[in-house]
Amino acid sequence: MNPYNYLYLAGLLFTIGAIGVVVRRNAIVIFMCVELMLNAANLAFVTFSRINGTLDGQVTAFFTMVVAACEVVVGLAIIVAIYRSRRSASVDDASLLKR
Amino acid sequence: MATSTSIVYLIALPLFGAAALLLGGRRTNKWGHLLATSMSAGSFVVGLYQLSLMLDRATEDRAITQKLFTWISVGDFNVDASLLLDQLSICFVLLISGVGTLIHIYSISYMAEDPDRRRFFAYLNLFIAAMLLLVLGDSYLNLYVGWEGVGLASYLLIGFWNKKPAYATASKKAFVMNRVGDMGLSLAIMIAFATLGTTTFAGVSEHAHHASEAAMTAIGIMLLIAAVGKSAQFPLQAWLGDAMAGPTPVSALIHAATMVTAGVYLIVRSNFVFDAAPTAQLLVVIVGAITLLLGAFIGTAKDDIKKALAASTMSQIGYMILGAGLGPAGYAFAIMHLLTHGFFKAGMFLGAGSVMHGMNDEVDMRKFGGLRKFMPITFVTFGLGYLAILGVPPFAGFYSKDLIIETAFDSGGLQGPLLGTITLIGAAITAFYMTRVMILTFTSKARWDEDTHPHESPILMWLPMVILAIGSVSTGYLFTRGDSLENWLSPVFGEHGGHSKEHLIPPLVVSALALLSVSIGVSIAIIKYQRNEIDRIAPANVSIFTRLARRDFGQDAINETLFMRPGQVLTDVLVKSDDKVIDGAVRGIGRMAIGSGAVLRKSQSGFARSYAAFILIGAILMIAGIWVVTQ
């Protein structure tokens, strides 16, 4: 099977994730979209690894997973904290920084 | 030259008085005037003591110095703060402290009602100290300190009643115009230092013979500018009339007897400079001649008694400057006229003060008249001063003014008869305007306001007037008896002193001519004023000449158009350019930062998603950029 198809898939997933981050309001959904983008990148890494016959991409994919796991931990904690204080998980409501 | 340790007390006493009264504040209100008067009197006593010591010494040892401290010591340039007491300075010391003390006594009574009398006496003492320093300094630099000191005292005293804005303006005007002259003095000092390497009188005198004439001329002209500023001579004469805003004792002491004559002192003291610079000397003569006529003409049109006397002072100092410009022949006579003028003019100013005292501070002579009966002492003392300034024998002015007229005639060439005629015309006009003052004030019909009750002044006021009147009568005779003052001063003027014995016109004829012109002036004034009714308000339909003289020949208009308006325009332009260009640039930078901030702030919406969109767009653009570059 042509490995480039995986790259197209990765690009598609990344685009879906990016559009999701920009257009959705719910923090959880945005978060999931971020994860989608990370995994799209992972898929691209692994694909390149396969195309080039080296292990570099696979190693990087592991690093990405670790970083993503950490990010989920911190990010979810923040989202929960915001939800508790504001009774809302909409990112547009949390816009205090502009003032 | 012998040294002394006691000259400094002349200055220290009044300086202490001024410091005590200024620092002591309200506590000294009760006895401050007494302290100031005694300090001035103490200075006079020290002066007399020094004179007695001086008389005991031989002629060549009479000048003594006292080094106070080393003032400036840079490399081989040394300036000591030293005092020099010689035959010339002692004349001034006695005039300043003597007349000064009399005026202190007068002021005790004159200023009795003033809540600020203590401050007034502090300034008077400050003036005495500064003026003594001026005449006692042994170098131009030391003289300069006193020169500025008297300028300060004059400023403070002219503006003593500075609650009236016009008086405050008058004091500022005097200060600013004096500043022009002071610039001349400081430039003279700088030129002397640059070309001769010294600023002491002795040093400059030593180098004067072998220095270039150009340098001496430059120094001479700068000194003349200084003298012109301080002595209210043409073309810096405009401040003196307005300086009459000060209390009358101040006008008598500072603006008649002493400070305004400092210019004459400066020129006479710098005789070695002017002897080596004929061009500068000629300028001195021209300035003196112009001013003596200008002042006299102005005096004919003034209705304010103090301004009439001020114009007369200007004119009389013109005589002195003229005398001083005539070289070795005239120095002693300039000083003699200065001393006699110090007596009779101070006396007349005090008389004017006494009249004002009795007339509710009225100064307009058109509202006086007939005061002879009500103020007999003032009338007599003023009258003696009047006879002295006219030059009627045997009063003081006869001797001193005649000698200047005589010297003017003898100055040789075409110059002699011309200057002689000018001085004679000046004498005639002087007689006219002084007679006018006498008639308007004392002898014509009373023209007072309803509520005035003229009365003679208290003894503290008339006693100084009487003493000064005695001086106006006797000094001329004393100074000329056996050429005493001339011989006394001759060591100061070097080898070539003494006046020539060859006369263009015999002295007796000159005296006769002078008396003739005086009697012409007096007769015209009597015909014009004694016979006719005098209006209480100055008539408007007068000749163009009178109108010009009333406005001081447009001196203020000239100064305003030539210097003040262009100065204001320049200031306006500078202020505007500062405001618009420099401040504009600074403010523009600030406004630019604020404006760009306002634009950029709009992107900081606080919405996480818009930031994410920016990041996305940025990332896409970057990738596109890289793609374009690498393709």
Q: Of B138, B156, B181, which residue is a domain's last?
A: B138
Q: How far is the C-alpha of B262 from the C-alpha of B357, rounded, in Å?
A: 29
Distance from CA of A74 to the nearest CA of B (A): 17
Q: Is residue B609 part of a domain?
A: yes
**In the predicted structure, residue B533 carries a pLDDT above the cut 80:** no
A91 has a chain B CB within 8 A of its CB: yes
Distance from CA of A98 to the nearest CA of B (A): 4
* Chain B CB contacts of A94 below 8 Å: 608
Q: How far is the C-alpha of B145 from the C-alpha of B129, rounded, in Å?
A: 11
| Cβ B222 vs Cβ B180: under 8 Å | no
A82 has a chain B CB within 8 A of its CB: no
Question: Among A23, A94, A98, whose Cβ lies nearest the Cβ of B604?
Answer: A98
Question: Cα A93 to the chain's mean position, in Å?
Answer: 22
* Chain B CB contacts of A22 below 8 Å: 609, 612-613, 616
Q: Is residue B466 part of a domain?
A: no
Output the pLDDT for position A98.
62
Distance from CA of B604 to the nearest CA of A (A): 6
Span A4-32, average pLDDT? 92
DSSP run (H or E) holding B80: strand B77-85
**In the predicted structure, residue B502 carries a pLDDT above the cut 50:** yes
DSSP state of B531: S
Count: domains in chain B: 2
Q: How far is the C-alpha of B156 from the C-alpha of B141, rounded, in Å?
A: 23
Q: Of B119, B138, B157, which residue is a domain's last?
A: B138
Assessment of whether the complete model's pTM goes beyond 0.90 = no
Report the candidate in B562, B94, B590 with the shortest Cα–Cα distance to residue B342: B94
Question: Among B605, B606, B609, whose Cβ lies nearest the Cβ of A22?
Answer: B609
Cβ-defined contact of A92 to B607 (cutoff 8 Å):
yes
Q: How far is the C-alpha of B146 from the C-alpha of B179, rounded, in Å?
A: 14
Domain ranges of chain A: 24-87
3-class SS of residue B82: strand
Residue B595 phi, psi dihedral angles, 5° rounding: -60, -50
Lowest mean pLDDT among B242-246, B318-322, B434-438, B579-583: B242-246
Reported as a single tens digit per residue, the pLDDT across B445-493 is: 888 877 878 888 888 888 889 998 988 888 888 888 877 888 888 888 8
Reported as a single tens digit per residue, the pLDDT across A72-90 is: 999 999 999 989 988 888 8
Task: Check if the interface score ipTM surpasses 0.95.
Answer: no
Q: How far is the C-alpha of B510 from the C-alpha of B486, rounded, in Å?
A: 19
Output the pLDDT for position B185.
92
User: Domain of B589?
Assistant: 558-630
| H-state helical runs in B359-456 | 376-390, 396-409, 415-438
Instruction: Band the pLDDT of B197: cuts 50, 70, 90.
Output: confident
Taking the C-alpha atoms of B333, B339, B341 and B344 in order, what is their torsion angle to the nearest 10 degrees? -140
A86 has a chain B CB within 8 A of its CB: no
Lowest mean pLDDT among B284-293, B348-357, B461-470, B552-561: B552-561
* Chain A CB contacts of B613 below 8 Å: 22
Which residues are paired to B383 by β-bridges? none
Cβ-defined contact of B605 to A98 (cutoff 8 Å):
yes
Those residues with Cβ within 8 angstroms of residue B328's Cβ, 6 or more apart along the chain or in another chain? B271, B275, B493, B494, B496, B497, B498, B499
**In the predicted structure, residue B495 carries a pLDDT above the cut 60:** no
Q: Is residue B513 part of a domain?
A: no
Q: Calculate the average pLDDT of chain B.
A: 87
Q: Is residue B42 part of a domain?
A: yes
Reported as a single tens digit per residue, the pLDDT across B298-333 is: 888 888 888 899 999 999 999 999 998 888 888 888
**In the predicted structure, residue B554 carries a pLDDT above the cut 60:** yes
Lowest mean pLDDT among A59-63, A92-96, B264-268, B395-399: A92-96
| Cβ B340 vs Cβ B389: under 8 Å | no
Q: Of B86, B117, B138, which residue is a domain's last?
A: B138
- Look-up: residue for tokens 């630019």? B592
Residue B484 phi, psi dihedral angles, 5° rounding: -60, -50
Report the candidate in B152, B110, B157, B108 with the shortest Cα–Cα distance to residue B130: B152
Q: How far is the C-alpha of B272 from the C-alpha of A70, rounded, in Å?
A: 101
Report the candidate in B215, B236, B84 with the shortest Cα–Cα distance to residue B146: B84
Residues of B with CB under 8 A from a CB of A: 604-609, 612-613, 616
**In the predicted structure, residue A27 carries a pLDDT above the cut 50:** yes
Cβ-defined contact of B606 to A95 (cutoff 8 Å):
yes
Span B364-373, average pLDDT? 82
Q: Is residue B293 part of a domain?
A: no
Q: Is residue B70 part of a domain?
A: yes
Q: Is residue B51 part of a domain?
A: yes
Cβ-defined contact of B616 to A22 (cutoff 8 Å):
yes
